[in-house]
Chains A and B, each alone.
Chain A
Amino acid sequence: MEKLNIMIVGVGGQGTLLASRVLGNVAMKIDKDVKVSEVHGMAQRGGSVVTYVKMGEKVYSPIIDKGEADIIISFEELEALRWIDYLKSDGTLILNEQKIDPMPVIIGKAKYPGGIVEKIKNNYKNVVTIDALNIAKQCGNIKAVNTVLLGLLAKSTSIDKEIWIESLKENVPPKAINVNLKAFNEGYSN
């Protein structure tokens, strides 16, 4: 693995920050240089959020530009559509099949686009979809969506599973670890 650019996109409040921190930690464990760029503050309040994770021998800019992402993990369908330009043509999209209506849709000023998955699949061949919300529910905590997706991501990289689990344990509060491990494994074996 020379360079790996991963974007995590979703809606503020979905737990994208935890996912990026686990990822950053994984990069450290495999001795890569890494930068993780997060969004805090106003944009977090239910807005569109994006986190960049870049790893390699030497990372300069913390930002991933259009057409540079090897993997995009999208926590929400519309957000996948918004950021898909950032994926390399042979990159992988990991898509949680969850829809959260943005305010313009809620108040009837815009329409939530239909057939998002099909549209993306027309241009990109590596698209993996998962109902992480449902899996998280079954694992016992609706908030474990992020860990389900991390499990799925872990499987699509060449990084050892144990490293992911170690990193997860270091970033999740002790009382939530069992639910999260379960969620991670569900995602991994999906």
Chain B
Amino acid sequence: MSLTEFKILNTIMGDVLMKKLMLGNEAVARGAFEAGVTVAAAYPGTPSTEITENIAKYDEIFSEWSPNEKVALEVAVGASIAGARSICAMKHVGLNVAADPLFTASYTGVNGGLVIMVADDQGMHSSQNEQDSRCYARGAKIPMLEPSDSQECKDFVKEAFSISEKYDTPVIVRISTRISHSQSVVEMSERIEYNLKDYVKNPAKYVMMPAMARKRHVEVEKRMAELKKFSNTDQFNKIEWGNKEIGVITSGIAYQYAREVFGDASYLKLGMVHPLPDKLIKEFASQVKTLYIIEELEPYIEDYAKTLGIKAIGKEKLPVVGEYSANLIKERLFDKKVESKPVTDEEIPIRPPVMCPGCPHRGMYYVLKKLKLTVTGDIGCYTLGALPPTQSMDTCVCMGASIGTAHGMEKARGEDFRKKTVAILGDSTFIHSGITGLIDVVYNKGNSTVIILDNSITGMTGHQHNPTTGFTIKGEPAKQVDLEKLCNAVGIDRVRIADPFDLKEFEKVVKEETQADEPSVIISQRPCALLKSVKYEGPLKINPDKCKNCKMCLSVGCPAIVDKGDHVEVNEALCVGCTLCTKVCNFDAFEKVGE
């Protein structure tokens, strides 16, 4: 909705429109909009993705999916130096990718306000680790805010731009899965008309080479001292006095859990977690009888409190692993366990995520498993190939790691091992940071075989465009990276394109390329079955007269094909009719439903 539309609607509907139920991520987007942001850049990553998807809905903001988080932050830094308010967003591991510009943007400071959104994933709902991003704020000497619900997401992001400009620093706003993906009520206001700040050449501030950076580091330290004073005011760090028998220092989502555990106790709710407010913490601690520090992951606040000589109960009883809940805190601190009479003694089968019915990756995994290859993997839906029934992935470290890992294996174990190894990664992951691995293979005389899974979309994060899809975040047509030509250009002479559902041909191609005495790329091309443009002909069923119960169809590992012991069934509610199973059935037993 444009600002004008918003104003008109607002006039018509009065207060009604001003309140909306929003995901934390959507509220962040709203905050950026209201703050007058004009440039936003991000790479998708759960739980941060919907921040930028929602920003893209505002016509006033240029927004983009960048190839990776490092580029996204650089774009935001550039926009800030040019005088605009800019924002970039990423998940916690994305901040690792963006760490290089992060640490130096701390030195350059800003012109227009610059906000970096980072979403941690306590409990690893959809991540490969659960690192604590607060450590980055401390390391990079950048102030960090931490909202605890959607309203604060919006308010803090908006305020972060003022802090950024006032203290000449990027500001990180840290959220987490339960903030990003929880909806709560948000009161909206209008967009600030923000005028671009003047752009003036200033190499002493924006060209970071030793002579300049030495001076800037001094500025950074001065700024942080000023920010510490600010942190001790009550704008973000608030004492909520209650019963003084118990005091709780907490922040972010942990505050919400703490409120349910400690009820009418006193709270020091930290909205600014870097720099931490020394005076406020001391004052609060001195006035309560028993002090608890409630924070997920690292003892970040607790360690700081200890340096102030403050004793508190925290990580000695509470875990540094996983996410908290009110119950978990009660259990660990007060030994209060919730008892319930179990409904059954039998083991309840787990339900891990699986590749969807119709998933193009399934055909590829069928072949890789059959050929018993070592598979260095990567981050995406296809990581699920590590789980049963495919169980074909050997490694998965981080975005883009598959190619470097395969190359390292080859250099360690030699040619014979290499001929039984492939690296696999998605199209978006390849552009993110796989391409540099491929250049390394070519340059350093490797012979790895790389399979790029070109499914025409960024899948796992929920269908975002990327440089290979030919569309921007706003759905506008864009130049499309030609993967074949790109691979050719970096020195790969053997690039093959194969359909993973043509099992025979795909197997032949994989065999040929792994045996070749030079590096090669196979582009496994078939669109994600969840794309609207993909139309399969509807569910199949098994003709019991033809089926010999040989169970070959189970080898494709489709969740819609179920082994009932004495027979095999298709779950019609799940089957999309991709027909991959028909290619392994020797008895022609699959038929379209209704025929």
Q: Does A41 count as interface, using CB distance less than 8 angstroms? A: yes
Question: Binary interface profile of A, 88-99, with partner B (CB < 8 Å = 1, else 0)?
Answer: 000000000010
Known pairs A37-B183, A41-B125, A42-B46. 20 more at Cβ < 8 A? A12-B353, A13-B356, A27-B21, A28-B185, A35-B149, A37-B181, A38-B181, A42-B383, A43-B125, A44-B353, A44-B462, A45-B353, A47-B351, A47-B352, A60-B260, A63-B325, A81-B343, A98-B573, A101-B571, A106-B563
A43 to B350, CA, bound (A): 12
Query: Do the beta carbons of A34 and B185 come within 8 Å of each other?
Result: yes
Among B49, B342, B343, B384, the one with the most A-chain Cβ atoms within 10 Å of its Cβ is B343
A122 to B346, CA, bound (A): 15
Distance (whole angstroms) from the CB of B332 to the closest CB of chain A: 13
Q: Does B286 count as interface, using CB distance less than 8 angstroms? A: no
A113 to B256, CA, bound (A): 36
CB-CB under 8 A from A48, the residues of chain B are 350-351
Closest-by-CB residue of A relative to B462 is A40
Interface of A is mostly: mixed
- Which residues of B are in contact with A by a Cβ distance under 8 Å? 19, 21, 23, 46-47, 49-50, 125-126, 149, 178, 181-185, 253, 255-257, 259-260, 325-327, 338, 340-344, 346-356, 381, 383-384, 387-389, 460-462, 554, 557, 559, 561-563, 565, 571, 573-574
Q: Does A104 count as interface, using CB distance less than 8 angstroms? A: yes
CB-CB under 8 A from B383, the residues of chain A are 42
CB-CB under 8 A from B347, the residues of chain A are 110
- Which residues of A are in contact with B by a Cβ distance under 8 Å? 11-13, 21, 24-25, 27-28, 33-48, 59-63, 65-67, 78-79, 81-82, 84-85, 98, 100-113, 119-120, 122-123, 133, 142
CB-CB under 8 A from A122, the residues of chain B are 343
CB-CB under 8 A from B259, the residues of chain A are 60-61
Distance (whole angstroms) from the CB of A123 to the closest CB of chain B: 5
A119 to B341, CA, bound (A): 12
CB-CB under 8 A from A85, the residues of chain B are 340, 342-343
Query: Do the beta carbons of A63 and B178 come within 8 Å of each other?
Result: yes
Query: Do the beta carbons of A65 and B354 come within 8 Å of each other?
Result: no
Distance (whole angstroms) from the CB of A167 to the closest CB of chain B: 10
CB-CB under 8 A from B563, the residues of chain A are 106-108
A59 to B182, CA, bound (A): 12
A120 to B561, CA, bound (A): 28
Distance (whole angstroms) from the CB of B61 to the closest CB of chain A: 22
A-B contact pairs, 14 of them (CB 8 A): A28-B185, A42-B125, A42-B353, A42-B460, A45-B384, A60-B257, A61-B259, A98-B573, A101-B562, A104-B350, A105-B562, A107-B557, A120-B343, A122-B343
Provided the pairs A61-B259, A107-B554 are in contact, do residues A82 and B348 lie with their beta carbons within 8 angstroms?
yes
Query: Do the beta carbons of A65 and B353 come within 8 Å of each other?
Result: no
Please tell me which one of the listed residues B181, B257, B344, B348 contacts residue A40 in the complex, with CB atoms under 8 A apart.
B181
Provided the pairs A34-B21, A84-B343, A113-B344 are in contact, do residues A43 and B353 lie with their beta carbons within 8 angstroms?
yes
In order of increasing CB-CB distance, the 8 nearest A-B pairs are A41-B126, A41-B46, A47-B353, A102-B351, A65-B327, A110-B349, A62-B182, A45-B353
CB-CB under 8 A from B19, the residues of chain A are 28
Please tell me which one of the listed residues A39, A47, A103, A110 contacts residue B389 in the complex, with CB atoms under 8 A apart.
A103
Please tell me which one of the listed residues A33, A44, A102 contacts residue B185 in the complex, with CB atoms under 8 A apart.
A33
Query: Do the beta carbons of A133 and B573 come within 8 Å of each other?
Result: yes
A133 to B573, CA, bound (A): 9
